[in-house]
Structure 1
Amino acid sequence: MADVLTICAGCRATDKPARGAELAERLRAVIGPETEVRVSDCMNVCSQPITVSIRATGKAAYLFAGVDPDTQADELIALAQLYAKAEGGIIDDARPLGQLRFCLLGRIPG
């Protein structure tokens, strides 16, 4: 199974339309084949849109919330690249993720 990056398509700020599906399309155009980009109707972190997860069989999974589709697309690309290379999904140095590392809600063991 490839790595899977999932973006909540239902997340929206109260005064803005949902942007998760648009973000997913942008990422699909640039993320390599080792990472599948999917959308989900709801990831149940509605208070902090946009929610993003990354996971794969046998690897740790990560959940991020409060991701800004306008400023953090490149950081999500960096996440996919780091995760693809990370043994067991463990990213030891999150600094290349920029501000995205501060959006992390948790890591779930693989």
Structure 2
Amino acid sequence: MTRDAVHIHICRSCGGGNWAALLAAIDAADLPVPVRINEQACMNGCARPVSLALQSQGRATCFFAGVDPCDDAADIVATLRAYLAAPAGWIEDARPCGRLRHRLVGRVPAI
């Protein structure tokens, strides 16, 4: 994992691989760290596709389900901002995350 980068893991099985709108939104956001999109094999969120996780060294891992990576691109960027602003990636007030605040399935504290 790249230090000082945020990794977005997206389920390739249910996601379809069309991330153009998400990539454009991330590029336009001018975030303070690089964001890497990693397609993953099945992430076991099949009941609520598409699964997506945020992960960064020293920060919590946040797992979401029922996300549309293109339609939710603005909310994903807002969530990235909240994630980077939160101590250790532990977002306490998820209201700025838009629809994603209702899609959070779980968080795992950083090691």
TM-score above 0.5: yes
Counterpart amino acid of residue 6 in structure 2: D
Deviation, 1:47, is 2.3
1:59-70 alignment to 2 at 5 Å? 59-70=59-70
Aligned residues: 105
Partners of 1:24 and 1:47 lie apart in 2 by 22
Q: List aligned pairs for 1:1-110, cutoff 5 A.
A: 1=3, 2-12=5-15, 18-31=16-29, 32=31, 34-42=33-41, 43-110=43-110
Query: TM (normalized to structure 1)?
Result: 0.79
Relative distance call for 1:56 and 1:10 in structure 2 (3 A) is same
CA-CA distance at 1:62 after TM superposition: 0.3
Question: Deviation of residue 33 (structure 1)?
Answer: 5.2
Distance 1:25 1:105, change over 3 A: same
CA-based RMSD: 2.0
- Structure 1: 5+ residue stretches without partners: 13-17
Aligned residues with identical type, % of pairs: 32
Letter of the 2:60 counterpart: A
Instruction: Return the offset for 1:59.
Output: 1.1
Counterparts of 1:64 and 1:78, CA distance in 2:
14
Secondary structure of 2:68 counterpart: coil
For 1:99 and 1:86, locate their aligned partners in 2 and report how far apart those are by CA, in whole Å: 18
Shift of the 70–100 alpha-carbon distance from structure 1 to 2, 3 Å rule, reads same
Question: Is contact 1:76–1:97 with CA below 8 Å preserved after alignment?
Answer: yes
After superposition, give the CA deviation of every residue in 1:50-90 in whole Å (9 maximum; x if it has no partner). Answer: 11111112211100010023431100000111111111111
User: What do residues 12-34 of structure 1 show as CA deviations (whole Å, max 9, x unaligned)?
Assistant: 5xxxxx25544553344334351
